[in-house]
Structure 1
Amino acid sequence: MTSRLEVADGVATLRLDRPPLNALDTAVQDRIRDLALEASSRDDVRTVILYGGEKVFAAGADIKQMQAMDHADMTARARDLQDCFTAVARIPKPVVAALTGYALGGGCELALCADYRIAAENVRLGQPEILLGLIPGAGGTQRLARLIGPSKAKDLIFTGRQVMADEALALGLVDRVVPAPEVYRQAHAWAARLARGPAIALRAAKEAVDAGVEQGLEAGLAIERTWFAGLFATEDRTVGMNSFLQEGPGKAVFAGRRPHDVRAGDAPS
């Protein structure tokens, strides 16, 4: 088998499948990018789960492949490497990482691209690149610092140490810790709940948060108000408000569509 996208009832599982440890060689990296772009474009995909299987999420890069690369090779590859992970971070739909076993190096960096992380009690996470005389190269120095703060990120990156689930939860590196057999089920429940939500509003919320963090408060507020006003042109807004007034909160059935007379340019893309 190869890494693949499995879709059912609006939930897509981006399944890493390179036994035994899901080492992220260049072929797997490129495959992740292609699957992320597919998930982004498919109308039948409403949410995405990143999953490596019951035993391991991803134990890092393929060190044998990297050892054979010189400075010129990596200079040519480095941007492609980052772009593969950025494609996951830019999926305009909620993304949850279901973490089992090891999420180290590139595996940890891939998990950082998700919106939410559910980890097994026995999981180990870390950025051990410094132990190879390197630094994280697939977004780890940037996304980790934004998630848990610069000082805590530097501790993990400088030492290369691995953290268990309880410390990862305390650091904010993961959002929920559950028994190992429960990881995928709980990730699927999270994704399935959101798959029934208002797709355009969820995209708006994700893009407003992410862009605001990157660009600062004033720019973020401008993005928020543009999206907020734009959502008043959606069918889901009409359905949601009518349902609230007639039945109370939480009972709306959303279609995830704009009216036919609304142009795509009326809301940020």
Structure 2
Amino acid sequence: MRDRIAVTIEDGVADIRLDRPDKMNALDHAMFDALIEAAALVRDTTGVRAAVLSGEGRAFCAGLDFGSFAAMQSGGDRSLSDLVTRTHGIANRPQYAAWCWRELPIPVICAVHGVAYGGGLQVALGADLRFATADAKLSIMEIKWGLVPDVAGTQLLRHLCRDDVVRDLTYTGRVVTGAEGLALGLVTRIEADPRAAALAAARDVAAKNPAAIRAAKRLLNAATVVGPAEGLMMESVEQQAILGSPNQVEAIAANMEKRAPRFVD
């Protein structure tokens, strides 16, 4: 992850920070790689039960670093041009920088301040929840540059906002505030300090039965793509596996005894 992203893990919570403040955490090749590497690190670290994604400096992420890509292409690097090749499962590399948070088995909360433009907003949309300041500025900005949203945005937006709202934001590229984003479905909560609130919420999630939390994320991810019959069966299978398990028994005992639970990953 080099000089792009910093990750610290404490008490079951991964604190992931985009760390390119001089460029407002803009997305270049190295940032795409770092986002994917950070998700893999969290996925492979035992005991992590929730994650917070935020940006250092004045903004969460200003979107694509066009200057960086232009310099690379003028030097003969055309790697950005091949978007059709699937490099990460169902996605290409830029798409997976957003989609990896949806695939991560634990809940991810994104804290948004300043701006989240273009690909930066789409990375935030990959998280389970988004906490933002009321005055944060959000935009699906690709149309400004004559492009379509392609950092998994079309697949993430359609489950968050009404169809006409998605089209409005995509066709116009208009900038909305965090407060308007809450009304539209882009934002989960308005917070004066989104990162602090996200860390507090992540610690709360990390204190729950990790097996149930992971099962819930699998079910909720699947609910957007499977039919009712398959979804109901998945719900029953997940619940049957949890019922009577050591962590579920511990959840009951902790509640009855009015103490903090001691779960095992």
Relative to the length of structure 1, the TM-score reads 0.87
Partner of residue 263, structure 2: 255
What amino acid sits opposite 1:17 in the alignment?
A: D
What amino acid sits opposite 2:17 in the alignment?
A: R
User: In the alignment, does 2:110 pair up with 1:97?
Assistant: yes
**Quick check: 1:212–1:221 contact (8 Å CA) kept in 2?**
no
Task: In structure 2, list runs of 5 or more residues that go unmatched.
Answer: none
**Quick check: 1:96–1:118 contact (8 Å CA) kept in 2?**
yes
Q: How is 1:1-269 mapped onto 2 (pairs within 5 angstroms)?
A: 1-20=3-22, 21-67=24-70, 68=73, 69=78, 72-76=81-85, 79-179=92-192, 182-244=193-255, 246-247=256-257, 251-257=259-265
Which has the larger helix fraction? Answer: 1
Sequence identity percentage = 33
For the residue of structure 2 that corresponds to 1:215, the secondary structure is coil
**Quick check: 2:182–2:188 contact (8 Å CA) kept in 1?**
yes
Displacement of 1:254: 3.5
Displacement of 1:75: 4.1
| Inter-CA distance 204–171: structure 2 relative to 1 (3 Å threshold) | same
C-alpha separation in 2, matches of 1:113 and 1:27: 19
Aligned alpha-carbon RMSD (Å): 1.9
What amino acid sits opposite 2:121 in the alignment?
A: C
**Quick check: 1:12–1:45 contact (8 Å CA) kept in 2?**
yes
Query: Which has the higher mean CA deviation after the structures are superposed, 93-102 or 10-19?
Result: 10-19
| Inter-CA distance 158–66: structure 2 relative to 1 (3 Å threshold) | farther
**Quick check: 2:61–2:116 contact (8 Å CA) kept in 1?**
yes
Q: C-alpha offsets along residues 182-223 of structure 1, whole Å, 9 cap, x if unaligned?
A: 221111110111111111100001110111112132221111
Q: C-alpha offsets along residues 220-264 of structure 1, whole Å, 9 cap, x if unaligned?
A: 1111111000002521111122344x336xx4504134xxxxxxx
Question: Aligned pair count?
Answer: 252
Displacement of 1:71: 7.9
For the residue of structure 2 that corresponds to 1:88, the secondary structure is helix
Partner of residue 264, structure 1: none
| Inter-CA distance 70–97: structure 2 relative to 1 (3 Å threshold) | closer
What amino acid sits opposite 2:196 in the alignment?
A: R
| Inter-CA distance 198–71: structure 2 relative to 1 (3 Å threshold) | closer
**Quick check: 2:98–2:124 contact (8 Å CA) kept in 1?**
no
What amino acid sits opposite 1:213 in the alignment?
A: T
